[in-house]
C-alpha cells in the first residue's frame, strides 16, 4: 500500500512492505584502489598516459561490442516483425480476415510466450527495461545478478521477441541495460557463470572502476539505441550517474562514438550483402540530416505547443498512477506463481492483436495522397514504424481525428497494462507514440482553426513541427 500521489515537499514514509524489500538490498562502497602495491605500480609508470591507455582500449571495446549487439537486436526485430506482418498481409489479400487474424494472434502469442518463459525460467533479473535497476546500482545499491551473462543473453532474446510481437513496447530501455552489462562484463575479465577467468584488465576489478565502465555502458546503450553519441553522453551525465569526472566524460564520449560508428558500419554491411548499398556508405540522415523545407512561423504557434506540453504532462500523471494501480493488482493476482506471470503477457498480446485486427474494420479507407485505412496504418506496424508515420512531414490530412483518438486511447491502455509484465521491454517507444499522437491531434486542430480564420492565419509550420513537439513531450514524461 501507500499513496500514489504525494507532495514534493513531504518526505516519503516507507510502508512496512517497502522496508522489508529494502532490507534485502546491500550498499556498495565505491572506493578507489589505494593499496601499497597499487601505489607502487602507479609510481613505476613514467607518464600518466601509460596509466590510462588500457581504459581507453576498454571504453572502445565496450562501444564496439554494444554497437554490434544493437545491430543484431535491430536485425532480429526486423526479420521477425517483417515475417509476421508480411504473411498477415498476404493472408488478408488471398484469404479472409479470420485466417489472417488467427495467424497474427498465434505468432504474436508464441513470440510473447517465448519471451516471458525466458525471463521467468532463466533470468528474472532481465524483466522490464532494467533502467531503474541500473540507476540503483550506480547510486550504490548492490543488486545480485544484475549484470550476469545469463541476464544479458535473456535480455537480448526476450526484448527482440516481444518487440517483434507488436505489443506497445520498445527496445531502447533494454539496450541501456545490455550496454551496462557489456561494460561490467568486459571490464572485469571473468565470469562466474561461464567459469572462466583471464589475467587481462585485472586492475579494473574494484567497485569504482566497474562503476565507471557501467556508466559508459549505459551511455553507449543510449547512443546505439538512438544513433546519438552526444545524447548518450548527456543521458548518463544528467539522469543516471551520481559520480562524474571530466576525464570520464571524454572516455564515455569516445565509447559512444565507437558504438555509433560500429552500428552504422554494420548496417552498411547488411545493405551491401542485400545489394542495396555499399560497405561504409552511410545514409544522409545518419551522417548529416538535412531538411530541404522552410517554414513560416507565427507568434501564436506557441499556443498549440503549450497545449501539447500541458496535455503530455496530464497524460504522464494518468499513466504513472494507472501503472501503479495495475502493478499492485498484478502482484495480488499472480503472487509468486510463475505460470500466472507467464500467461499474463500472452493474454495481453492476444487481446491487443485482436483489437489491432478488428478496430480498423470500423474505419473506412480515406483518400489523401493515396487510399489508406488510417487506423490500420498506425496499428498494423511496430512502434517505430508508427512513429515514423506520425512524424512524416506534409501529411497533416493523412490521419483523421477519429483514428488518432482511438489509436491514442487504445495504445495508452495497453502500454499501461504491458509495462511491468514478465517480459524485457522499455517504455520509450510507447511514450513517443502517445506524444506523437497528441501532437498530431493538436497540429490537425491548429490547421483547421487557422484555415477557418482565413488565409493570413495559415501557418505552414503546423504541418510537421507540432507532431515532433508532441513526441518530444512524450519523451520528457517518460523521464
Q: Alpha carbon of 126 to those of 141, 214, 234, 335: distances in Å? A: 17, 16, 25, 18
Has residue 150 got a pLDDT over 70? yes
Lowest mean pLDDT among 108-112, 168-172, 174-178, 367-371: 367-371
**Residues 6+ positions from 81 with CB-CB distance below 8 Å:** 163, 164, 166, 382
**Each residue of 189-236: pLDDT tens digit?**
877 777 777 777 778 888 888 999 999 999 999 999 998 899 999 998
- The chain-wide mean pLDDT, for the chain, equals 84
Has residue 310 got a pLDDT over 70? yes
**Each residue of 247-273: pLDDT tens digit?**
999 999 999 999 999 999 998 887 777
Lowest mean pLDDT among 91-95, 219-223, 473-477: 473-477
Question: What pLDDT is recorded for position 474?
Answer: 47
Q: Residue 166: CA atoms inside 13 Å, Cβ hemisphere, count?
A: 29
Please, are residues 446 and 466 in contact by the beta-carbon 8 Å criterion?
yes
Please, are residues 205 and 188 in contact by the beta-carbon 8 Å criterion?
yes
Question: What pLDDT is recorded for position 241?
Answer: 82
Question: What pLDDT is recorded for position 457?
Answer: 55
Q: Alpha carbon of 445 to those of 65, 441, 458, 459: distances in Å? A: 46, 6, 12, 12
Question: In angstroms, how far is CA 138 from the centroid of its own chain?
Answer: 19
- What sign for the dihedral angle of Cα 149, 151, 157, 160? negative
d(CA 57, CA 452): 61
Q: Ranked by mean pLDDT, which of 39-48, 304-313, 452-461 comes out on top?
A: 304-313
Spatial CA neighbour of 63 closest among 286, 265, 263, 285: 263
Has residue 296 got a pLDDT over 90? no
Q: Check: pTM over 0.85? Answer yes or no.
A: yes
Q: Which three cell numbers stand for residue 149?
A: 551473462
d(CA 64, CA 70): 10
Question: What pLDDT is recorded for position 367?
Answer: 59
* 126 secondary structure, DSSP code: G
Please, are residues 442 and 471 in contact by the beta-carbon 8 Å criterion?
no
Q: Which three cell numbers stand for residue 274?
A: 542485400
d(CA 209, CA 175): 21
Q: Which residue has the higher pLDDT, 19 or 10?
A: 19
Q: How confident is the model at residue 284 (pLDDT cuts 50, 70, 90)?
A: low
**Each residue of 167-178: pLDDT tens digit?**
999 999 999 999
Q: Which residue has the higher pLDDT, 140 or 395?
A: 140
**Alpha-helical runs (H) found in 335-459:** 338-358, 374-379, 383-391, 401-418, 428-453
Q: What is the CA angle 210-215-218, rounded to 5? A: 125
Q: Which domains does the chain have, with CATH numbers?
A: 51-280 (1.10.3080.10), 299-478 (no CATH)
How many percent of the chain have pLDDT more than 70? 86
Which is it for strands 366-367 and 190-191: parallel, antiparallel or unpaired?
A: unpaired
Q: What is the CA angle 247-251-255, rounded to 5? A: 165
Spatial CA neighbour of 162 closest among 209, 120, 194, 133: 120
Q: Ranked by mean pLDDT, which of 119-133, 354-368, 391-405 comes out on top?
A: 119-133
Has residue 479 got a pLDDT over 50? no
Q: How confident is the model at residue 477 (pLDDT cuts 50, 70, 90)?
A: very low
Please, are residues 73 and 171 in contact by the beta-carbon 8 Å criterion?
yes
Q: Alpha carbon of 254 to those of 138, 177, 322: distances in Å? A: 20, 19, 40
Q: How confident is the model at residue 433 (pLDDT cuts 50, 70, 90)?
A: very high
Question: What pLDDT is recorded for position 462?
Answer: 44
- What sign for the dihedral angle of Cα 164, 121, 67, 241? positive
Please, are residues 260 and 227 in contact by the beta-carbon 8 Å criterion?
yes
Q: How confident is the model at residue 182 (pLDDT cuts 50, 70, 90)?
A: very high
Q: How confident is the model at residue 366 (pLDDT cuts 50, 70, 90)?
A: low
d(CA 21, CA 417): 24
Cα end-to-end span (Å), the chain? 24
Amino acid at each position: 500500500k501507500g499513496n500514489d500521489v504525494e507532495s514534493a515537499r513531504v518526505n516519503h514514509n516507507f510502508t512496512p512492505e517497502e522496508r522489508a524489500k529494502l532490507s534485502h538490498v546491500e550498499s556498495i562502497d565505491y572506493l578507489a584502489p589505494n593499496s601499497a602495491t597499487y601505489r607502487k605500480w602507479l609510481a613505476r609508470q613514467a607518464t600518466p598516459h601509460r596509466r590510462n591507455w588500457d581504459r581507453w582500449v576498454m571504453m572502445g571495446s565496450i562501444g564496439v561490442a554494444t554497437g554490434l549487439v544493437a545491430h543484431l537486436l535491430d536485425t532480429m526485430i526486423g526479420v521477425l516483425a517483417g515475417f509476421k506482418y508480411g504473411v498477415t498481409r498476404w493472408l488478408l489479400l488471398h484469404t479472409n480476415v479470420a485466417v489472417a487474424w488467427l495467424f497474427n494472434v498465434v505468432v504474436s502469442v508464441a513470440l510473447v510466450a517465448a519471451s516471458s518463459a525466458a525471463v521467468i525460467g532463466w533470468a528474472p533479473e532481465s524483466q522490464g527495461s532494467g533502467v531503474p535497476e541500473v540507476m540503483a546500482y550506480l547510486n550504490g545499491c548492490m543488486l545480485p545478478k544484475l549484470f550476469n551473462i545469463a541476464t544479458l543473453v535473456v535480455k537480448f532474446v526476450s526484448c527482440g521477441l516481444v518487440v517483434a510481437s507488436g505489443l506497445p513496447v520498445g527496445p531502447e530501455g533494454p539496450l541501456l541495460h545490455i550496454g551496462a552489462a557489456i561494460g561490467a562484463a568486459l571490464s572485469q575479465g571473468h565470469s562466474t557463470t561461464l567459469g572462466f577467468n583471464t589475467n587481462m584488465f585485472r586492475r579494473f576489478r574494484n567497485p569504482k572502476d566497474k562503476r565507471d565502465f557501467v556508466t559508459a555502458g549505459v551511455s553507449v546503450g543510449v547512443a546505439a539505441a538512438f544513433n546519438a553519441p552526444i545524447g548518450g553522453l548527456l543521458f548518463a551525465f544528467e539522469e543516471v550517474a551520481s559520480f562524474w569526472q571530466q576525464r570520464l566524460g571524454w572516455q564515455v564520449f569516445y565509447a559512444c562514438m565507437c558504438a555509433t560508428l560500429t552500428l552504422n558500419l554494420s548496417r552498411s554491411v547488411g545493405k551491401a550483402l542485400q545489394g542495396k548499398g555499399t560497405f561504409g556508405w552511410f545514409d544522409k540522415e545518419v551522417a548529416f540530416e538535412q531538411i530541404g523545407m522552410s517554414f513560416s512561423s507565427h507568434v501564436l504557434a506557441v499556443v498549440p505547443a503549450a497545449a501539447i506540453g500541458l496535455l503530455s504532462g496530464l497524460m504522464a500523471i494518468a499513466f504513472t498512477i494507472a501503472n501503479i494501480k495495475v502493478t499492485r493488482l498484478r502482484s495480488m493476482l499472480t503472487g509468486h506463481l510463475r505460470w500466472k506471470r507467464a500467461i499474463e503477457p500472452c493474454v495481453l498480446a492476444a487481446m491487443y492483436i485482436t483489437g489491432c485486427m478488428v478496430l480498423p474494420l470500423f474505419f473506412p479507407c480515406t483518400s489523401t495522397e493515396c487510399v489508406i485505412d488510417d487506423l490500420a496504418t498506425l496499428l498494423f506496424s511496430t512502434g517505430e514504424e508508427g512513429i515514423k508515420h506520425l512524424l512524416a512531414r506534409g501529411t497533416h490530412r493523412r490521419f483523421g481525428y477519429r483514428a488518432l483518438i482511438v489509436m491514442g486511447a487504445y495504445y495508452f491502455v495497453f502500454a499501461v497494462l504491458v509495462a511491468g509484465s514478465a517480459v524485457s521491454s522499455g517504455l520509450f517507444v510507447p511514450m513517443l507514440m502517445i506524444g506523437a499522437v497528441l501532437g498530431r491531434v493538436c497540429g490537425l486542430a491548429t490547421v483547421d482553426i487557422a484555415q477557418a480564420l482565413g488565409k493570413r492565419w495559415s501557418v505552414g509550420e503546423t504541418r510537421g513541427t507540432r507532431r515532433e513537439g508532441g513526441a518530444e513531450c512524450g519523451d520528457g514524461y517518460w523521464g
